Structure 1
Amino acid sequence: MKALLCTDRGARLGDVPEPKLLPGEAIVAVRSAGICNTDLELARGYMGFTGVLGHEVLGEVVEAHGGPVPKELSGKRVVMEINCACGHCATCRGGGRNHCPTRTVLGILGRDGGIAERVRIPLENLHVLPDAIPEEAAVFIEPLAAALHAFDEAAPRPGERVCVLGDGKLGLLVGLALAARRGDLGRAVAVGRHRDKLALLEAAGLDVALEEGFSETGFDVVVEATGQPAGLARALALVRPRGTIVLKSTYAGAAGVDLAPIVINEIRLVGSRCGDFTRAIDVLSRGVVDPRPLVTARYPLAEADRAFARAAEPGVLKVLVEP
């Protein structure tokens, strides 16, 4: 079958064997898959991954190990959690399946992803989608779950000031998540480099500002979602002493940031990765967040090379591949 492969020479469309079922797993026919910044970084050497790319996947179960497709999944659209855990270690038993020490991660670590005709995934990782969620919105469930998770460990309190730094794909989703919960916050602002992208967040109710010339500081919470090594240093300049920085960016290479201000100003750093799919599905079902304006282009799988190149262009937001 055709798939978009991450190799030591970057990403390319190629032929791979059909996925083979293992106990407890299913084969999903892919309907749509998104290309995100992590995929671009993987192609640059992040995580040392080789295999099929893609972890933002929408599809339909076509085969299950050891029997027919479960009735509750048959004919339904599904999305898939990306962390495939053992389920029995101390970490899993303690509720930390996303951090299982022997986990594989869809299209990122030890497991082929879903920019392909079909993908293999544990049945327990699947979520059925309500009919109310449009197709183009459904493919955002994984990154939206991650965006909503940014405020789980650093929930801003009434009157506090919050800044989202970055206006790329993830930064915009975090901004939409913030707009949906801004309520009685003292200030909620998104800072980026592109006026047209920031306009999406302004329309959702956030204050926005271009990074060039932005001098406001003293934020209680800063979410760093630039996708760039320089983002942490910029966040440190924005946050108040004893404030919180939430790190969302992943990239190949080192940040090279001066850590002294973190100690001197007693800054709290919070890493934030994957989030709750059930919550993201609920948010989309109720129309609280609409990510569809972030879709820049759609390509068939046969043109996955072109899709990946387009996704890597400056200023491009979400590119979808549709087998």
Structure 2
Amino acid sequence: MKIKAVLTIIGLLGSLSVMAKMDTIPVSRNYKTILVLPAPYDFSINGKGLNFLESFPTKSASATSERIVLLIYNDVAPDTSDFTNYTIYTRDGRAYDFILQLVDIPAKKRWTITTDMVDNLEELSHKKSATELDESDFASYPDIKEKETIAATETVTETLEVIPEKEIDGEPLPLTQELYVLDRMEYIRRRCYYNQFNKGKIIRYFSKYDDVFLWLENVYYENNEIYLQFRLENKEHIDYDVNFIRFSIATNYKNSSSNVKTEHKPLFRYKVPKKVEGNSENYFMVVFDKFTLDRRKSLVVDLDEEKGNRNLSLDIDQLVINNPSGFKL
């Protein structure tokens, strides 16, 4: 019995040692936890993305803003204690693993992430240590901008388009009216990038087929554009392959043969997915030139599944379109 007790204690100590190596980041409902990354943010894997919410700085003229992630706990979640795994990738290919834990008041609200905390050295290099790695080691990793897509105008496929970074004297242009005037599409792309994961403000506005949901999260207005933020959630085990997503303005007379549907083409599409794997979700944004609707019309979103029948149709009425939010500073 003594031998078994000793082995049990050793096992517990080993588990605690492994957990100690992984930083636990406190997140609360009333305070934002700030992560400062060593390189620009690419994407993250969040075990409970509906509870531990990410956001990003907006309207910042500093290049540092691309390295900052803000974390807060969903104030409508009923949990009083909660934690999850959180892995964050930067554009240089490095990955950093953490545990997120719900607390009342975080003792530390600003975390500076350093390259010696990287957790995927074996993926990056089999020869060099973390202190020896430099930017040339990650030349093969694509930049996030090269993954963005713009939809073809009348086809069911989407065309990959690389949008170059605009610069003045070698420095990237900040998100300002100057950038909007010089390059409207680059400004819109960056606006989508900074707001793609915003917390949804439109409550329970969705279309569903079984356990596949298309959620309208937010509608924004800025300059002369309407931004629609969507979330495509697949709670089923089978992947959802997107054939196309189309937008139309339709009359909404009930049971009327005079109902008309006219295609309404977006100005810009940001990260519209081609596939949503089982038990996962994707956020994306679609931008239109400014428009409004009268009370007898709605914006219809038709999402078609490739080689499947889980098609979705979401009617967005004029009250939602005509009363958008503004982007936070």
Q: Normalised by the shorter chain, which TM-score bucket? A: under 0.3
Q: What is the TM-score normalised by the length of structure 2?
A: 0.28
- Could you say which structure has the higher strand fraction? 2
Q: Which has the higher contact order (CA 8 A, sep 6+)?
A: 1
- Could you say which structure has the higher helix fraction? 1
Q: What is the TM-score normalised by the length of structure 1?
A: 0.28
